[in-house]
Structure 1
Amino acid sequence: MGSIELNAVEKWYGEVQVIKGIDLSIQDGEFVIFVGPSGCGKSTLLRMIAGLEETSRGQILIDGRDATAEPPSKRGLAMVFQSYALYPHMSVAENMGFSLKTAGASKAEQQEKVAEAARALRLEGYLERRPKDLSGGQRQRVAIGRSIVRDPTAFLFDEPLSNLDAALRVEMRYEIAKLHQQLQASMVYVTHDQVEAMTLADRIVVLNAGRIEQVGSPKELYDHPDNLFVAQFIGSPKMNVIDLPCAELRLHDAPEGAAHLGIRPEAMRLTAPGAGDLDGRVDVSEYLGADIFLIVDCGAAGKLTMRIDGESTLPPGETIGLSFAPEKRHFFTRDGLAIR
């Protein structure tokens, strides 16, 4: 079992409140990812679950047990940090089995658990190497393996891929996704990279200034954001937002109370000038192979980003029409709340 429940959890540093009444249930075997801008409280919240930060108010339940006041060693959780923190003088096998050794496990049990974790992480051929002989991705796998051998209730990851280059990040995303499939263990993962969140998570928790803005599957958050913050935080490039009313926008069916129109880059189509919802001038064309991102200057509507086919040829300065898919439009109130 690996359920985690947060009830009205708060964190105060003196007079400053950084976590503001979080309620969240994480089911056994679920992969939940915390995302949000720097300083939103995602790492603090993870450390509170781990017991590395004291909970000022509220309750943390692990498998139904009140763990709010328990030390980290009693919570049955394993944490993987940004830093690998491997012992340089020990082999991979010794690093992975160190916690078992200090807990008094027999040598046979240590070897069995390390071998099992090594198979899961494809490290069988590296067990006798030292950390200095491994790549960054391999070192991170060793750090994860060190957690696996403890057979934890749940895994906590604090931006584990942030120190890796782009290629290794892609490789490790795959490794972590496969690991979750194999272990069927609860995982709580903090990242500022929304690509990691969208590709790995069963559910994403979007945090902002110590509060939860929205919780849902990647598709739910992308297709049905509750507010402007989530709409523009989830998705790359981010959702375009046009303030209403806009004289240059040919829009006749905005719902009552709509102060903003949101449209994602892929929900716009090219039309002849005057034939679509809006006209604009191509400002910059960013070629990405299969796709091109057009930044289009639409006057009072602002500069909008549009995703088009990579075979298209539209030089900067050309005037184009933009048509919005009606079912893909998002409307928000003046306060930024979605209008359903």
Structure 2
Amino acid sequence: MGSIALRSVEKWFGQTQVIKGIDLDIGDGEFVIFVGPSGCGKSTLLRMIAGLEDISRGTLTLDGRDVTAEPPSKRGLAMVFQSYALYPHMDVRANMGFSLKTAGRSKAEVAAKVDAAAKALRLQPFLDRRPKELSGGQRQRVAIGRSIVRDPVAFLFDEPLSNLDAALRVEMRYEIAKLHQTLKSTMIYVTHDQVEAMTLADRIVVLQGGVIEQVGSPKELYERPGNLFVAQFIGSPKMNVLPGTCAGGQFDIALGTSVPGPEGAAYLGIRPEDIEITAPGGGQMDGIVDVTEYLGADTYLIVETGAAEKITVRAPGGIDIRAGAEVGLGFPEARRHFFDADGRALRG
């Protein structure tokens, strides 16, 4: 079992409150990822679950057991950090089995658990090597294996891939996804990388300023963001947001353009890939392509419309539109998002 519940959890450092009344339930076997901008409290919240930071107010339960005041060693959790923290003088086998050895487990039990973890992480060929003989991705797998052998209630990951290059991050994302499928253990993962969050999580928790903005599956957060912050934080490039006013069921955008919209709407959001490129006059707005960014499969067009914000359009990589071209931009009705003056999503 590995269910985790937080109730009205707060964290204060002196007079500064950094976690502001978090309520969250994480189910047994669920993969939950905390995301948010720097300073939002995601790593602090993870460390509070681990017991590395005290909970100032509120309660934390593991499988229904109140562990708010218990030390990390009593919680049965395993944490994987950015730093591998491997013992350089020990080989992989000794590094992975060290915690069991110090706990007085038999040699046979230690060997069996290390072999099982090595098999799950495809580390068998490296068991006799020392950390300096391993790549960054292999070292991170050893650090994860060191946690697996303990049979923890849940795994806690604090930006474990941030020190790896792009190719290794892709490889390790696959390894962690497969590990979750194999172990079916509860995992809580902190990252600033949207790709990691969108590809790994069962649910994403979006934090800002010590509060939860929204919790949901990657699909829910992307397609139905609860507010303007989530709408622009989830997705790359971020959602285009155009200010305007709404009266009589018509939302008036800058430059005299209007589209049907709900009462109270103050912003229209449209994702870059949802914008249709048309001939000038064929969409809701015209503009001049300011910059083109060719990325292979995609080309991003940065379009100057004369409105307050430039509009980013995601187009197929082979599109032949260059800087200086005039284009029309269509906003399909089914793909429009509206928000009120406080940034709350308005559902049609």
Cα distance in 2 between the residues matched to 1:11 and 1:281: 49
Pick aligned residue for 1:336 from 301, 324, 343: 343
Provide Cα deviations, 1:18-73, integer angstroms capped at 9, x if missing partner.
00000000000000000000000000000000000000000000010000000000
Cα distance in 1 between the residues matched to 2:277 and 2:37: 33
> For residue 75 of structure 1, what is the aligned residue in structure 2?
75
Provide Cα deviations, 1:165-193, integer angstroms capped at 9, x if missing partner.
00000000000000000000000000011
Say if 2:34 is the partner of 1:49.
no
Shift in alpha-carbon separation, 1:326–1:249, aligned structure 2, 3 A:
farther
Cα distance in 2 between the residues matched to 1:252 and 1:12: 46
> For residue 231 of structure 1, what is the aligned residue in structure 2?
231
What secondary structure is seen at the aligned counterpart in 2 of 1:299?
A: coil
Cα distance in 1 between the residues matched to 2:3 and 2:296: 43
Cα distance in 2 between the residues matched to 1:336 and 1:117: 46
Say if 2:179 is the partner of 1:176.
no
Cα distance in 2 between the residues matched to 1:169 and 1:20: 32
Residue 272 (structure 1) shift: 1.0
What secondary structure is seen at the aligned counterpart in 1 of 2:254?
A: coil
Residue 247 (structure 1) shift: 3.2
Cα distance in 2 between the residues matched to 1:272 and 1:210: 46
> For residue 26 of structure 1, what is the aligned residue in structure 2?
26
> For residue 131 of structure 1, what is the aligned residue in structure 2?
131
> For residue 118 of structure 2, what is the aligned residue in structure 1?
118
**Aligned AA (2:276):** R
Residue 301 (structure 1) shift: 4.6
Residue 300 (structure 1) shift: 1.5
Cα distance in 2 between the residues matched to 1:247 and 1:119: 60
Say if 2:263 is the partner of 1:256.
yes
Cα distance in 2 between the residues matched to 1:115 and 1:139: 16
TM-score (norm 2): 0.97
What secondary structure is seen at the aligned counterpart in 1 of 2:48?
A: helix
Pick aligned residue for 1:278 from 280, 285, 290: 285
Cα distance in 2 between the residues matched to 1:197 and 1:184: 18
Q: Any stretches of 5+ residues in structure 2 without a counterpart?
A: 246-252
Residue 315 (structure 1) shift: 1.1
User: 8 Å contact 1:82–1:161 — kept in the other structure?
Assistant: yes
User: 8 Å contact 1:282–1:315 — kept in the other structure?
Assistant: yes
Cα distance in 1 between the residues matched to 2:343 and 2:83: 38
What secondary structure is seen at the aligned counterpart in 1 of 2:32?
A: strand
Provide Cα deviations, 1:122-181, integer angstroms capped at 9, x if missing partner.
000000000000000000000000000000000000000000000000000000000000
User: 8 Å contact 1:249–1:301 — kept in the other structure?
Assistant: no
Cα distance in 1 between the residues matched to 2:267 and 2:294: 29
> For residue 144 of structure 1, what is the aligned residue in structure 2?
144
Residue 264 (structure 1) shift: 0.1
> For residue 299 of structure 2, what is the aligned residue in structure 1?
292
User: 8 Å contact 2:243–2:254 — kept in the other structure?
Assistant: no
Sequence identity percentage = 73
Cα distance in 2 between the residues matched to 1:302 and 1:283: 12
1:211-222 residue pairs with structure 2 within 5 A?
A: 211-222=211-222
What secondary structure is seen at the aligned counterpart in 1 of 2:188?
A: strand
What secondary structure is seen at the aligned counterpart in 1 of 2:241?
A: strand
Cα distance in 2 between the residues matched to 1:113 and 1:190: 27
> For residue 156 of structure 2, what is the aligned residue in structure 1?
156
User: 8 Å contact 1:249–1:278 — kept in the other structure?
Assistant: no
Structure 1 range deviating more: 53-62 or 249-258 = 249-258
Cα distance in 1 between the residues matched to 2:153 and 2:196: 23
Cα distance in 2 between the residues matched to 1:199 and 1:325: 27
Say if 2:272 is the partner of 1:265.
yes
Residue 310 (structure 1) shift: 1.1
What secondary structure is seen at the aligned counterpart in 1 of 2:307?
A: helix
What secondary structure is seen at the aligned counterpart in 2 of 1:199?
A: helix
Q: Any stretches of 5+ residues in structure 1 without a counterpart?
A: none
What secondary structure is seen at the aligned counterpart in 2 of 1:204?
A: strand
